[in-house]
Structure 1
Amino acid sequence: MKFINPVIPGFYPDPSICRAGEDYYLVNSTFHYFPGVPVFHSRDLVNWQQIGHCLTRPEQLELAGLESSMGIFAPTLRYHEGYFYMITTLINGRASGGMRNFYVRADHPAGPWSDPVFLDWPGIDPSLFFDEDGRVYITGTNGFSGEPAGIYQAEIGLETGKLLSPRQLIWTGTGGKSPEGPHLYRMNGWYYLLIAEGGTEYGHMVTIARSTGPSGPFEAAPGNPIMSNRSTGQLIQATGHADLVQAHDGSWWAVMLGIRPVSRRHHLGRETCLAPVAWSPDGWPVAGNGAQLELEMEGPDFYHGPRPAEARLDHFAAAELQEYWSFLRNPYPADWSLRERQGWLTLHGSAVTLNDTDSPAFVACRQQHFRCAFSALLQFTPEDGDEAGLSVYMNELHHYEIALTGVNGQRYLLLRKRAGSIWMVAEQAAYAGDTVILRIQADRKGYSFSYQLPGEAEWHLLGHAESSLLSTEVAGGFTGVYLGMYATGNGTRAKQPAYFDWADYRIDE
C-alpha cells in the first residue's frame, strides 16, 4: 500500500529513528523552541503519534537569550539494553559563545528523561553507536578551531561522558560541503557510516561508506549519493540527514528531512520523510526509488493505510498543555496558566513582544499543512498598549498578527505585518466588545485574517499576507512557521490577562 510523504509534516527536521521490538520511535531538532526534542511512536513507520518530549525541564534545557535557530541541533535516538538514549547539541550562539553536547536517557521514550550528561566533545550532530563487544562510540562533526571538515569519532564512557580513546578523523565524505549528521551501523561484518553532505539546502544528499572496523579506514560507496533529489523535478527537495532502521520483518527503511517548496521558497520547514532501502548484491544500500525520494511511495508490508487526522480542537480542560504546543525559549511561569481560569488558557502579556529574542507570552503549534485554518476564541479587555491575538510566526523579524488592542481609550482589531525592517499595521477596525473569534486561513501562497462575533455566522475579513515573506529563503534560519496565541503589554506588563476559551487547528486539504 502506498503512503504520502512527508510522514510527519511541518517543522520536524533531522529525524532519528530506533526500534524496540515492533515499536518505532523518532525524534527531531527543535532549536530555540521549548519543550525540546519531540518523541514520536509508530507501529508501521508511516503513522506517527507524538508521545512526549525529551527535554521538558529548565534543568535539562536552558534557552534564555538564544537567537532564533540556535538551541537544539540534530538529536540521535538509540535503544540499548532497556534504555533509550537521546544525544544532541545545544548551541548557545551569541548568548555565551559556545556549544555543548550531551545525552539524556529514559526507560520509556515517553519519559521522564534524565538530567543531561555533558560530554567532552566538540562539534554538532553527535551520534551514539553500541558495538557488540560492549564498547560505545560517539561520532560527530569537526568542532575545534582549525580542524579539517569531516566526521570524527572516539570511544566514550557512557556513565561519565569521558572519552576512552583519542578523537580522530575517520571520513571526510565524498567532496560535498558540510559533511555532517553521521550515524554508524554494524551489519553483516561491515561497519557502515552514513552522513549528510551538500548543506541542508537544495544540494543536500545522503552518502555512505564502510569499513571492517568502527574507526575505518572507510571506503565510499561507488553509487554515492545513495539519496538526493538535487537537480530533479521531485516535489520534495533538499532531501538528506538520514537515519536507517531495520524493521521487525527484516526490511530496511530510511527517515530523512525534505522540504516542499512553493516557487522555490519553503515556509513549513524541513519535514520528516520515509523511503524504502534496497541492498545491492555487493552490500551497498540505495534509498528511495533510484536514490530519489518521491511524494508517493510503497509502504511496508505491515502498513495498512493512513489513520484519520487527529482533531486539534483544544478546550484547555486538561491539567497540562497538549504535546503539540510549544513556547519560544523557556517560558516565564507567570506568563501563562491553565489553572487560573478553569477551561481557559490564560496569557499575561509582558513587556516582551514577538519582535524580541526573549520568551513572550506565546503558545503555538507548527503549521503542518499548506491549506489549514487556525482559530481561537479570545476574551480580553485591553488598556492602551495592551494586545492579544493570533500570530503566524517564523522568527522575530518575520511574522503576522491579528489582534485585539487598546489605543487612546478605544479598542481595535488590527492586522500587523512584519517582514524584516518593514513593519506596519495593515488594517484596523474599531471593535467595542471584549470577546471575539479570530481566524487565520492558509493556502500555499498566503494567509487571510478574519474575525467573527460570538454567536454569529459571518466572518469579517481584515486582510491578506504572503507566505513567501515567511519562507526560509527570505527569513533565514532552520525552523518553520508556527500558528499561535499571544499577549503583550508592548514594553510594559499588560494590565489585564487574555483568556482563550479554545483553539482549533483544522486541515483544509
Structure 2
Amino acid sequence: MKRKLQCIFFACLMCLSATLQAQFKNGKQKQGDLGNGTFLNPVMGGDYPDPSIMRDGKDYYMVHSAFDYLPALTVFHSIDLVNWQPISSALTTYLGSGWAPDICKYNDQFLIYFTVAGKGNFVVTAKSPYGPWSNPVDLKIGGIDPCHIVDEAGQRWLFLSGGTRVKLAADGLSVITGTSEKVYEGWVFPKEFESDGFNLEGPKLKKIGNYYYMISAEGGTAGPPQSHMAVVARAKSLDGPWENAPNNPLVHTYKDSDKWWAKGHGSLIDAPDGKWWIVYHAYENGFIGSGRQTLLEPVEITKDGWLKAPTGSAVQLPVKKPVKSQIIVQPYAHLNEFRIGLEWKFYKKYNAERTSFNDGVLTLKAQGKTPQESAPLLFVTNAHSYEISAKIEIDSSTVAGLILFYNSDFYVGTGFDTNKRYRWRKGTVRGTWPNNGQQTVWLKIRNINHIITGYYSYDGINWEKEIWGMDISGYHHNTLYDFVSVLPGLFAYGNGEAKFSHFAFKVLDK
C-alpha cells in the first residue's frame, strides 16, 4: 500500500511539474512572488538593466541603469529579494545617459557610483537610501561600469570595465591617481559563441571566505541571444593574480529557444541564511522591446570554491524564495498616484514644477513643439499585451495625449488639440481627424503582442476604434540601438497645460 501511494504521489508530482512548465513557458504568470513560498523570474519585470545590489542587515537595496530618464537612479528596497518597492531617486539633474551604477555602503554612508556616457564616472551620497541624495560629484576618471570594493588594508578601490581599477581617496569622492591600471584580462570564451564582441565590462566584486570573487560581463549586452554572459574570476588579493573559473560562464543563454536571452551583468548577494544568489539582466524571448529585466537565481559554492548557477529551463521554473515574507508587491498598484521619480519618469528634462496631482487629476504643464520635445512622462512594464487610457482636458494652446515611447525618433501615440486629433508613427504625424473644438477627449492605446491600435471617446463610454495597424516588434536595441525599451506614458506640448484623470493601465496578457 505504501509503495502504491508513493507511486501515485510521484505521478501527481510529475503531472504538476509538466503543468507548471507548460504554464510558465506560455507566460501566463508574469513575475515575482507566487504567494506559496516560491517565485518566478523576473523579480523585476520590464526595463531594469545592469542591476547592482547590496544588503544592509535585513534590508536589500538595488539600483539600475538610468539612461535618459529623470528622476534617475531609482533605489528599490526589499526584505526578501523578490518583492521590490521604489523608495527614492538619487539623481534629478540630466548629465547624459546614465549607465551601470553600483550601490554600496561604507561606514554610515550610502553611495551610488555610475557612468555618464561620454563624460566619465560620478558618485552621489546619502545618509539613508531613502535620501536626500547629494549632488553628483565628478570623479574625473574614464571607463564604464564602476564597482566599489575595499581591500584588507582598508584601501578603497573602484573597479571598471576592461579589467581596470583606480585607487579612491579615503572619502570615496575622488581618485588618488587619474589613470587606471589593468589587473584582469577576462575570460576568453569559445569561438562558437555568437557574440556582439568581447566587451569585458560590468565588474561586481564580493569577498567570500579567503577569496575575492569578480563577476564580469562579456560578449556584449545585446546582439544574438547567446551573446551576453557573466563570468567568474577569483583572487586572494585585489592585486591578483585573477584565476578564471573552470566552469565559466556562470550565467549564459545556450539555446535560441530559451525563454531568457542575452543573460549577463550579474551581481552577487547573500541571504541571512548564508546562501548566495545572483541578480542579473536578460531579454525575454520574443519581447526584446520590454528591455533587460532583472532575474534572480541561487548560486552554489562548490567544494573547490567556485560558483555554480542553474542553467537552461531550470531558470524558467518556480524557485523557493531566499527569505520568507508575507509582502507581495503589485507592480502597477501606484500608477494612478503619479509618483514622479518612483514609478513615473520624464524623458531627459525634469522640472518638478511641471506637475501637480490633486483629487485624482494630474495637471501637466506643456512644453516643446512635439511629443518628444515635451519630455513625455513614462513608466516601465513587461506586459506582452496591455492598454492605457485616460480622460484628457486641454486648453486652446496645448496638444496632449498618450504615447508608447522608445526614443525621440521612434514612438507611436495618439493626441489632440481643439481642432484635430492626431496619430504619431515613427516619431511623426501620420494621420489627422477633425476634433470640432472639443477640449475633453478620452483616449486609449492598446498593445496586443506588439500590434498597436488607438481609440477615442467623447464620453468615456462609447469608444471609436481608429485604423492603425502598427507593428512595433522592431522597437528594440538590435534594430534601433540606444539600449532602451518601449515605455507607455503621457505627453503635453505647447504653451498651456493638460489635465489627465481616470488614468488606467490594464494588463491583457492571456
TM-score bin (small chain)? 0.7 to 0.9
The yes-or-no answer on 1:375 pairing with 2:399 is no
Cα shift readout 1:242-289 (whole Å, capped 9, x = no counterpart): 100111111111000111131xx61111111111101111000022x1
- For the 8 Å contact 1:312–1:504, the answer to whether it is kept is no
Counterpart of 1:457, as a letter, is: I
Counterpart of 1:30, as a letter, is: A
Assess, with a 3 A threshold, how the Cα gap between structure 1 residues 469 and 307 changes in structure 2: closer, same or farther. Answer: same
TM-score normalised by structure 2 residue count: 0.84
Counterpart of 1:279, as a letter, is: I
- For the 8 Å contact 1:445–1:467, the answer to whether it is kept is yes
**What secondary structure, in the 3-state scheme, does the structure 2 residue paired with 1:321 have?**
coil
> What is the aligned length?
460
Cα shift readout 1:177-196 (whole Å, capped 9, x = no counterpart): 10000012211111211100
Aligned counterparts, 1:454-469, within 5 A: 454=459, 456-462=460-466, 463-469=468-474
**What secondary structure, in the 3-state scheme, does the structure 1 residue paired with 2:290 have?**
coil
What is aligned with 1:146?
Answer: none
The yes-or-no answer on 1:207 pairing with 2:231 is yes
**What secondary structure, in the 3-state scheme, does the structure 2 residue paired with 1:257 have?**
strand
Assess, with a 3 A threshold, how the Cα gap between structure 1 residues 229 and 314 changes in structure 2: closer, same or farther. Answer: closer
Aligned counterparts, 1:153-168, within 5 A: 153-159=165-171, 160-163=173-176, 167-168=180-181
- For the 8 Å contact 2:258–2:285, the answer to whether it is kept is no
Cα shift readout 1:209-254 (whole Å, capped 9, x = no counterpart): 1112111111100111011014352111111001001111111110
The yes-or-no answer on 1:300 pairing with 2:321 is yes
Counterpart of 1:353, as a letter, is: T
What is aligned with 2:257?
Answer: 233
What is aligned with 2:371?
Answer: 354
- Counterpart-to-counterpart distance in 1, 2:137 and 2:146: 13
The yes-or-no answer on 1:500 pairing with 2:500 is yes
Counterpart of 1:169, as a letter, is: K
The yes-or-no answer on 1:126 pairing with 2:146 is yes
What is aligned with 1:178?
Answer: 199
- For the 8 Å contact 1:349–1:361, the answer to whether it is kept is no
- For the 8 Å contact 1:452–1:459, the answer to whether it is kept is yes
What is aligned with 1:94?
Answer: none
**What secondary structure, in the 3-state scheme, does the structure 1 residue paired with 2:474 have?**
helix
- Counterpart-to-counterpart distance in 2, 1:284 and 1:395: 41
Aligned counterparts, 1:129-148, within 5 A: 129-141=149-161
The structure with the largest helix share of the pair is 2
Counterpart of 1:397, as a letter, is: D
- For the 8 Å contact 2:271–2:323, the answer to whether it is kept is no
What is aligned with 2:478?
Answer: 473
- Counterpart-to-counterpart distance in 1, 2:291 and 2:47: 4
Assess, with a 3 A threshold, how the Cα gap between structure 1 residues 270 and 111 changes in structure 2: closer, same or farther. Answer: same
Counterpart of 1:35, as a letter, is: P
Assess, with a 3 A threshold, how the Cα gap between structure 1 residues 437 and 425 changes in structure 2: closer, same or farther. Answer: same
Kindly state the Cα deviation for residue 501 of structure 1 after the two structures are TM-superposed: 2.5
What is aligned with 2:290?
Answer: 268
TM-score normalised by structure 1 residue count: 0.84
- Counterpart-to-counterpart distance in 2, 1:290 and 1:446: 32
2:125 pairs, out of 105, 114, 126, with 105
Assess, with a 3 A threshold, how the Cα gap between structure 1 residues 322 and 464 changes in structure 2: closer, same or farther. Answer: farther
Counterpart of 2:486, as a letter, is: V
Kindly state the Cα deviation for residue 290 of structure 1 after the two structures are TM-superposed: 3.5
Assess, with a 3 A threshold, how the Cα gap between structure 1 residues 292 and 102 changes in structure 2: closer, same or farther. Answer: farther
Kindly state the Cα deviation for residue 373 of structure 1 after the two structures are TM-superposed: 2.0
- Counterpart-to-counterpart distance in 1, 2:208 and 2:371: 49
Counterpart of 1:482, as a letter, is: L
The yes-or-no answer on 1:416 pairing with 2:442 is no
Over aligned residues, Cα RMSD in angstroms?
2.5
What is aligned with 1:447?
Answer: 452
What is aligned with 1:223?
Answer: 247
**What secondary structure, in the 3-state scheme, does the structure 1 residue paired with 2:251 have?**
coil
- Counterpart-to-counterpart distance in 2, 1:497 and 1:85: 37
- For the 8 Å contact 2:371–2:492, the answer to whether it is kept is no
Kindly state the Cα deviation for residue 305 of structure 1 after the two structures are TM-superposed: 7.3
**What secondary structure, in the 3-state scheme, does the structure 1 residue paired with 2:417 have?**
strand
What is aligned with 1:337?
Answer: 355
Aligned counterparts, 1:189-208, within 5 A: 189-201=210-222, 202=225, 203-208=227-232
1:6 pairs, out of 35, 42, 52, with 42
Assess, with a 3 A threshold, how the Cα gap between structure 1 residues 28 and 226 changes in structure 2: closer, same or farther. Answer: same
- Counterpart-to-counterpart distance in 2, 1:118 and 1:414: 43
- For the 8 Å contact 1:362–1:484, the answer to whether it is kept is yes
What is aligned with 2:377?
Answer: 363
What is aligned with 1:30?
Answer: 66
Counterpart of 2:420, as a letter, is: Y
- Counterpart-to-counterpart distance in 2, 1:471 and 1:307: 30
Cα shift readout 1:43-67 (whole Å, capped 9, x = no counterpart): 11111111111113x3xxx34xx5x
Kindly state the Cα deviation for residue 414 of structure 1 after the two structures are TM-superposed: 2.6
User: Structure 2: which 5+ residue stretches go unaligned?
Assistant: 1-36, 190-197
- For the 8 Å contact 2:63–2:73, the answer to whether it is kept is yes
- Counterpart-to-counterpart distance in 1, 2:464 and 2:218: 48
**What secondary structure, in the 3-state scheme, does the structure 2 residue paired with 1:468 have?**
coil
Assess, with a 3 A threshold, how the Cα gap between structure 1 residues 167 and 327 changes in structure 2: closer, same or farther. Answer: same
Aligned identity (percent) is 28
Assess, with a 3 A threshold, how the Cα gap between structure 1 residues 217 and 440 changes in structure 2: closer, same or farther. Answer: same
Kindly state the Cα deviation for residue 485 of structure 1 after the two structures are TM-superposed: 1.1
- For the 8 Å contact 2:404–2:411, the answer to whether it is kept is yes
- Counterpart-to-counterpart distance in 1, 2:106 and 2:142: 24
The yes-or-no answer on 1:114 pairing with 2:134 is yes
The yes-or-no answer on 1:290 pairing with 2:298 is no
- Counterpart-to-counterpart distance in 1, 2:178 and 2:214: 19
What is aligned with 1:484?
Answer: 489
What is aligned with 1:144?
Answer: none
Kindly state the Cα deviation for residue 399 of structure 1 after the two structures are TM-superposed: 0.4
